[in-house]
């Protein structure tokens, strides 16, 4: 079994990704288990999800010398020029426990005067795996929909209560979590990751 170090500290993301990597003999361990000091943070100053995902994976790989996997994700709103985009987690300039509340309030205010049909957008997830020999695998997943200037539903996190995926009339915040995970941007990125790992295993 190969060991992969997760650059993220989010245990939910780690569990989702590990369901795929285990199929290919890859067991994920946390940064803590890899001996990465908790205070080390990789600066996410890239202009794309791909750049930030790679920076996180590469930065942690250089510290531990093992295969490392990272995820970068966010929401793009077309009427705002695809903002917040890579700044989704810090859209309102707030860190910590209050970030989600501040980010959602800012996004609701920014789209309030746009008609529904112009508030198209998408959630994006990019998962990058970096190997010590320099090999890189990058998998992108998206889910299209509309963003609304209100919150509906108690489930999910972040912008979920403001996002209605195409073909539905409820937000991710109103979805059963298991159903959301079947169609989410991260689910689609994981499908692509599986395809790329299958391709790699066949070489």
Its CATH architecture, for the domain 2-201, is Alpha-Beta Complex (3.90)
- Give tens-digit pLDDT for 68-98: 999 999 999 999 999 999 999 999 998 777 8
The residues spanned by each domain of the chain are 2-201
Distance of CA 39 to the CA centre of its chain: 21
Rounded distance, CA 112 to CA 10, Å? 31
Q: Are 140 and 129 in contact (CB under 8 A)?
A: no
Residue % of the chain over a pLDDT of 90:
77
Under DSSP, is residue 123 helix (H, G, I), strand (E, B) or coil?
strand
Q: What is the pLDDT of residue 1?
A: 67
- Give tens-digit pLDDT for 102-124: 999 999 999 999 999 999 999 99
Predicted confidence (pLDDT) at residue 196 exceeds the cutoff of 80 = yes
Distance of CA 167 to the CA centre of its chain: 22
Across the range 61-69, mean pLDDT stands at 95
- Give tens-digit pLDDT for 168-179: 999 999 999 889
What residues are annotated to the active site?
72
0.85 exceeded by pTM: yes
What is the band of 127 on the pLDDT scale with cuts at 50, 70, 90?
very high
């Amino acid at each position: 079994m190969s060991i992969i170090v997760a650059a993220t500290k989010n245990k939910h993301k780690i569990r989702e990704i590990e369901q795929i990597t285990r199929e290919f003999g890859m067991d994920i361990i946390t940064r803590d288990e890899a001996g990465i000091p908790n205070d080390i943070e990789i600066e996410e100053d890239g202009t794309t999800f791909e750049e930030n995902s790679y920076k996180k994976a590469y930065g942690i790989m250089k510290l531990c010398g093992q295969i490392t996997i990272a995820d970068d994700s966010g929401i793009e709103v077309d009427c705002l020029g695809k903002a917040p985009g890579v700044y989704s987690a810090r859209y309102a300039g707030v860190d910590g426990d209050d970030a989600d509340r501040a980010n959602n309030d800012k996004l609701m205010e920014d789209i309030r005067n746009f008609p529904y049909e112009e508030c198209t957008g998408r959630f994006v997830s990019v998962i990058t795996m970096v190997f010590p020999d320099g090999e890189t695998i990058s998998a992108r997943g998206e889910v299209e929909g509309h963003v609304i200037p209100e919150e509906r539903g108690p489930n999910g996190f972040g912008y979920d209560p403001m996002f209605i995926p195409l073909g539905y009339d409820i937000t991710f915040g109103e979805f059963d979590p298991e159903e959301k995970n079947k169609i989410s941007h991260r689910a689609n990125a994981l499908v692509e990751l599986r395809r790329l790992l299958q391709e790699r295993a066949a070489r």
